[in-house]
Amino acid sequence: MQVPKAQPDETLFSRIVRYISLSGLQKERCLNTLVGNRRAVIHPYLTADLDLISRFTNESANYLCREQTLRPLFSHFLPKYREIINDCSIGTNELVRACQLSTFREHEPLTLKYCPVCAEEDIYNVGVAYWHCSHQIPGVDACSEHGVWLIHQELHEREHFRSYLFPPTCDVKVQCSDLAWSFAQYAERKFRSIQDNAYLQFKPSGYKNHLSDKGFTTFTGRIKRIELMAALYSISEKILLPDNPLRITSAQDLKYMSSLIDGTYQVHPFKHLLLEFLLTQTQLSENPDEHVSTSRSKDDDVKELETRCCDLLLNGYSMAQVGRDIGKSRCYVKAVALRHHIPVNLKPYKITDSLKDKVSRLAYKGVHRSTIALQLGISSGSVEAIISSIEGLVEWRKKCKADSKRRRYQCQILRYFESHPKGIRKNAKEECEAAFFWLYLHNPEWLEQHLPVPQKTQHVDRVDWEKRDNELSKKVCSIIES
């Protein structure tokens, strides 16, 4: 007996349920006929043993895999296991392991989902309600066609299917949210696209470019994880039923998307669908102060922001007002003003031109910023801001610091050998470890000139035991003979 022909969007699981219902065979005998094992398990959307089941249909095993299961969805988002998932000869246990269902941190219990409106229409059109493939997509809780919440029917242990296991007619039809309906439609379109393009390549690294286009990255390319998680949490609250385990538990659950964005680990396909749906929904703000156009380079963005800050300061705006307008802190505005010699009205007024000159002179002498701040009665942050605003002063202080460290370490090495005239290089390395290795990395020529001449290795003759054995054996023989 052949398995009944497939209805539009019907799963292979649903066809097997209709097969056992029409044949009148016992479940064990039916399984033994189809897959050769009366204790086999038929998964609702990851049906295995397709090579065996295809003998009772008019379609090939590859067609059944592509059109009547969710294998294409899992193989697309789990490229590491694509070959195993697309293998039509493997059993249920191997297939479930390859799809990583038991290893995902978030996973929903195995249920059959159906739309009550679709069930009524199926009975009217074909005479029987059946299980739709698009309804079984993990994380989809709404019907993409009618916009109502799907109803979950639990499956008990190994009793995945039985005779007359069809979607029941139900009067309860609850309209879902517009966002849940949009997500269901997006997931259905994505699934059909994967079905039609079997060789479509999936690269998680492409997410960062899309996130940058949508304003979820900083100037340096780092992802704004807090804003991203807040947006994902808001969406998951609206597209999933309250008891769905795939819902994000908290907007602060930053680990939820880390492995997905990094692409280091295999994650649940629902996460990919959720993130891609977010990227299709998010629109760039039209306010140029909130999102800078990505077509310009980062250097141009920084220069433009600094120019705008200077213009506002020259127009008489306060530092606090300028900071609010450009979205920066008051310290940033203060540093820009000092760098461009723009006078600002500070209360109390302490940082005068004469004070900046004093800071500059002390800084050129290499005095520590904390000492300068204590001597002049200002904060060390103000001293650091003045030093940063003077061109070339930071580099000069770095050079002075390096020269001071070099002289100190050189003096340490010289004093060690003055007090230890017979010392060798190994002793200096052990006693003056920090000085030795810093000079070895930054001033090796000086170190080589002032270290003692390496001592030559003393040669110690090794005992020729074979020769000695021959000599002793002769003596022993002469003793025995005498």
Is residue 419 pLDDT above 60, yes or no? yes
Quote the pLDDT of residue 287: 39
Say if residue 185's pLDDT is above 90: yes
- Which DSSP string do the residues of 248-282 spell out, in sequence order? -S-TT-THHHHHHHHT-S---HHHHHHHHHHHHH-
Res. 347: pLDDT tops 70: no
pLDDT-derived band at 284 (thresholds 50, 70, 90) equals very low
What local confidence, expressed as pLDDT, does residue 197 receive?
81
C-alpha distances (whole Å) from 353 to each of 7, 357, 388 are 85, 6, 15
Strand-pairing partners, residue 152, are 113
* pLDDT higher at 441 or 251: 441
Least confident of 7-11, 256-260, 411-415: 256-260
427-431 mean pLDDT: 87
User: Which pLDDT belongs to residue 172?
Assistant: 79
Going from N- to C-terminal start, the domains of the chain cover 12-177, 203-281, 396-450
Residue-level pLDDT at 157: 58
Rounded Cα–Cα distance for residues 205 and 455 (Å): 57
Query: How far is it, in rounded angstroms, from Cα 98 to Cα 363?
Result: 64
Per-residue confidence (pLDDT) for residue 132, from 0 to 100 = 94
Task: Tell me the residue type at 437.
Answer: F
Q: Any idea what DSSP says for residue 53? A: H
Tokens of 26: 């016992």
Render pLDDT for 44-84 as a digit per residue (tens, 0 to 9). 899 999 999 999 898 999 999 999 999 999 998 888 888 99
**Per-residue pLDDT tens digits for 74-117:** 998 888 888 999 899 998 889 988 888 777 766 778 889 999 99
Q: What mean pLDDT do residues 135-161 have?
A: 84
Yes or no: say if 190 and 276 are a contact pair by the CB < 8 Å rule. yes
| Interval 438-443 mean pLDDT | 90
Q: What pLDDT shows up at residue 142?
A: 93
73 in helix, strand or coil? helix
pLDDT of residue 143: 93
Looking at residue 113, the DSSP 8-state letter turns out to be: E
Cβ-in-10-Å burial (0-12, 13-18, 19+) of 318 comes to: middle
Mean pLDDT of the chain: 84
